[in-house]
Structure 1
Amino acid sequence: MLRIGICDDEKIIQDELKDMVSHIVFQYGEVEFSTFSSGKDVVKAVEEKTFTCDLLLLDIHMPERDGIETAKYIRMHQVDVDIIFVTVSKEHVFDGYTYQAFSYLLKPIQYPRLEDELGRYIYERSKNSRCLHVNINGRKEKLLLDKVKYFEADTRKVIAHLLHGEVTFYAKLSDLQKVLESYDFLRCHQSYLVNTMFISGYSRTEISLEDITIPISRKYTESVRLQLDARKDGEYGELGK
């Protein structure tokens, strides 16, 4: 299921976008909509942990909290959602790059243009076949593995730390390890399973993932060395340095 959020302070625009998007994505499968009348509503949903959108169509010119401020909040808080800016002006087009927007659409929205961008988005999303099906709050969801930096064991649950945000579900890390053996995930500790594509460096005692370090326990030192040394020489550095 694709979950799409529409944030615009004009109800008529919300309805128009929802109608067009419904027609466009119908061929790709089920879609669930969430609507927001301001960036303030989006932030509130994030803070209350009720924000579940995969894609957010975000107006820029809104009262209280505009789209740029909202996008900034989303990225600062690592919310895992793609953004398409929808606005009346080109003046903020470079903010699209700053806040990693998937696209930037001008109002009034032209159906063919929206169709092209949504088709491109769904293609980019679906071509990634690396995924894990998990139960989250009683619902079966697809977790894109290329967005998972690492999994962390938390009692009877597992926390998936994503590029933007995190997801928690019931599982055993040992079971995940078996499932993900062929997907370049590395067990380095009783509590951690790491996506090797995000490793920026490592030593005998820890692995670096951009802005965080993950410990390597003594039990896994040798297996970590063998797996990482088997990869491209010099990609991470040498274990033990």
Structure 2
Amino acid sequence: MRILICDDDSLISKQLCEYIQDYFKHTNANCPEIFCFTNGESLLADQGEKDILFLDVEMPGLNGIYTGSELKKRNNNIIIFIVTSYLKYLDDAMRIQVFRYLFKPLDKKRFENNMKDALNLYNTSMIKLPIETKQGVHTILTSDIIFVEAQGRRVIIHTEKNDYESIHNMKYWLDSLPRNNFFQTHRSFIINMEHVSNFDHSLIHLAENQYDAYLTRRKYKSFKDAYLLYLESMR
């Protein structure tokens, strides 16, 4: 894992480094590598993995919103904290799907609570599962699965890049996928709540409305409750 800090204020970068190191020390875990940048250009030029990022908004050159948007295009799984003194950037930050919005001066207790949530999300998104097809085995991140669909006797795994026809049935996938992220909305659909755009009493729209999945009416309330709980865990 690599944790990155991008802020032109050296005091904030130093404080974040100390908070991160203290968090891992108190949880008896090895602290990952921490890298600091002072502007968006140098961060975008970095060739290393970017797992968790603490990102300022107002910086010389590229601002944090643009920088974060570019990084999300490259890796949708990056976990971005916006760190700023200004509430006015909140809407822009939400549009690029940042994980949390932290205000300066930083509150250490709030930082620790959010860091715990970020690591839980990271560990969940890094789960890999094999998809066995008639042609071979493909290993993918569970976070890349948009939904699983039964089409007659065929079971299709729809991912961000490809669709795969699994040799396993729906029960296998229901048992294999992490329950805190996936929900069976209909006998023919298991959806990843990470990719939900919106829903009503009969349909769930996924991946910015690219796909639709059926929602059984009797499951509407339980799905709504599970989805709201999922969103709450992401705050």
- Please indicate, yes or no, whether the TM-score normalized by the shorter chain is above 0.5: yes
Cα distance in 2 between the residues matched to 1:17 and 1:36: 12
Q: Which amino acid aligns with 1:30?
A: N
AA at the equivalent of 2:117? R
8 Å contact from structure 2 (residues 126, 141) kept in 1: no
- 2:18 and 2:141 map into 1 onto residues whose CA distance is 39
Tell me which residue corresponds to 1:234.
Answer: 188
1:35 alignment partner AA: C
Question: Following the alignment from structure 2 to structure 1, what is the Cα–Cα distance between the partners of residues 55 and 25?
Answer: 21
Where does the alignment leave 5 or more consecutive residues of structure 2 unmatched?
A: 175-185, 191-212, 214-235
2-side partners of 1:194 and 1:205: how far apart? 19
Structure-2-length-normalised TM-score: 0.61
2: CA distance, partners of 1:233 / 1:72? 36
Q: CA 1:26–1:194 in 2, change beyond 3 Å: closer, same or farther?
A: closer
- CA offsets, 1:120-155, max 9 Å, x none? 3334545x4xxxxxxxxxxxxxx821xx5xxxxxxx
Q: Which residue does 1:192 correspond to in 2?
A: 138
Query: Partners in 2 of 1:108 and 1:202 — Cα distance?
Result: 50
Aligned length: 173
Question: In the alignment, which residue of structure 1 is the partner of 2:200?
Answer: none
Q: 1:83: Cα distance to partner?
A: 0.6
Give 3-state SS (helix, strand or coil) of 2:42's partner: helix
Structure 2 counterpart SS, 1:109: coil
In the TM superposition, 1:1-241 aligns within 5 A as 2-28=1-27, 29-31=29-31, 32-45=33-46, 49-50=47-48, 52-78=49-75, 80-125=77-122, 128=124, 144-145=126-127, 148=128, 185-188=130-133, 189-190=135-136, 192-193=138-139, 198-201=146-149, 207=156, 209-214=158-163, 216=165, 224=167, 227-228=169-170, 233-235=187-189
**What is the distance in 2 between the residues matched to 1:21 and 1:195?**
26
Structure 1 residue 57 displacement after superposition = 0.5
Cα distance in 2 for residues equivalent to 1:112 and 1:215: 44
* Counterparts of 2:114 and 2:37, CA distance in 1: 21
Give 1:208 deviation, angstroms. 5.5
Change (3 A) 1:212 1:201: farther
Superposed CA RMSD in Å reads 3.2
Q: Relative to structure 1, is the Cα distance of residues 119 and 200 closer, same or farther in structure 2, using a 3 angstrom cutoff? A: closer
* 5+ long unaligned stretches in structure 1: 129-142, 149-179, 217-222
Per the normalisation by structure 1, the TM-score is: 0.59
Contact 1:34 1:53 in 2 (8 A): no
Output the CA distance in 2 between the equivalents of 1:194 and 1:80: 13
Between the two proteins, what is the percent identity of the paired residues? 21
**Aligned in 2, Cα 1:124/1:210: closer, same or farther, shift over 3 Å?**
closer
Q: Does the 8 Å contact 2:131/2:137 carry over to 1?
A: no
How many angstroms apart in 2 are the aligned matches of 1:214 and 1:123?
A: 27
Secondary structure of 1:198's counterpart equals strand
